[in-house]
Amino acid sequence: MRKAFAITAAMAAALATAGCVIVVGDSDGEVKLRHDDRRQDGYVVLDRDGDYSRIGGNINLRGRLGGDLSLVAGDVEADQLAVDGDVSIAGGDIDFSGRVGGEASIAGGDIDWMADVGGELSLAAGSLDVSGHIGGPASIAAASLTTSADFSDGLTANGNAVHLGGSVSGPLRIVSVGEIRSRRDYSDSDGRVELIGAIHDGGDICSRSVIVTSTARISGTLRVWAESAPELQPGAQAGNLVFVPRNGRDCEDVDPVFDRS
């Protein structure tokens, strides 16, 4: 699964939404609400069966939406928001809790995702924290990435530092520091993957280092390409762990599974 994250794409999605309510912020970032919208504690409270789109300004949402949600905004906070359709957001810092019935495609600065998703999930951020139950394939990317989510249909993750908790069923692929640069000074966390939760079907990891913590439970064959052998903490259940020295090679060169061309 390959999905590009671009504000222009999210803008196009917002503008192309048919039969929706489009709310555009004014020059001061204020929002002109429809007559049947209401506010509560600084949140716009939705209760409608159609779609909802917004371009510009910060936005706080609660309530229920029967259709799709499309936002190109500043900071976004969705508090226990239930969306039956798809969600597309391009913004600054994004906090989202609740439920998405369809697919979710989110790009932002710092993202805290605490929502169940019925379909495919795509997240791209500077800092990313993910929880909830994800029903479809997931692709997540961030400089700092932490997840405690339950992924039911596979996970592709890219990050400078990756903390993988929760559980993953289906294909797993993780890349942390895809390119090794000989003149770069790395911190201990750069290119490090920490396995904290359950991996049910094995997978593939390319990183500088891997820590299999005491709470990790790994089934199937997990292949690891790294600069050093994985560190197994006491109590870890590592299943069939296969280590291949990376020897300074880029991830796309160590195995075709990491080739994104």
Alpha-carbon distance values, 27 to 24, 30, 32 (Å)? 10, 7, 12
pLDDT at 81: 98
Question: What tens digit of pLDDT does each residue of 55-89 get?
Answer: 989 999 999 999 999 999 999 999 999 999 999 99
pLDDT at 23: 46
> What 3-state DSSP class applies to 7?
helix
Q: Give the predicted TM-score (pTM) of the model.
A: 0.85
User: Which of 40-44, 56-60, 130-134 ranks highest by mean pLDDT?
Assistant: 130-134
- Do 162 and 179 meet the contact criterion of CB atoms below 8 Å apart? no
Beta-bridge partner residues of 61: 44, 78
The amino acid sitting at 51 is D
Question: What tens digit of pLDDT does each residue of 166-222 get?
Answer: 999 999 999 999 888 776 778 888 999 999 999 999 999 999 999 999 999 999 999
pLDDT at 36: 52
Confidence check: pLDDT of 12 > 50: no
pLDDT at 189: 84
Confidence check: pLDDT of 241 > 80: yes
> What 3-state DSSP class applies to 30?
coil
Nearest residue to 89 via CA among 101, 105, 77: 105
Confidence check: pLDDT of 37 > 60: yes
By DSSP bridging, strand 198-199 and strand 43-48 are: unpaired
Question: What tens digit of pLDDT does each residue of 80-122 get?
Answer: 999 999 999 999 999 999 999 999 999 999 999 999 999 999 9
Ramachandran assignment for 260, one of left (phi > 0), alpha (psi -120 to 50 degrees), beta (any other): alpha
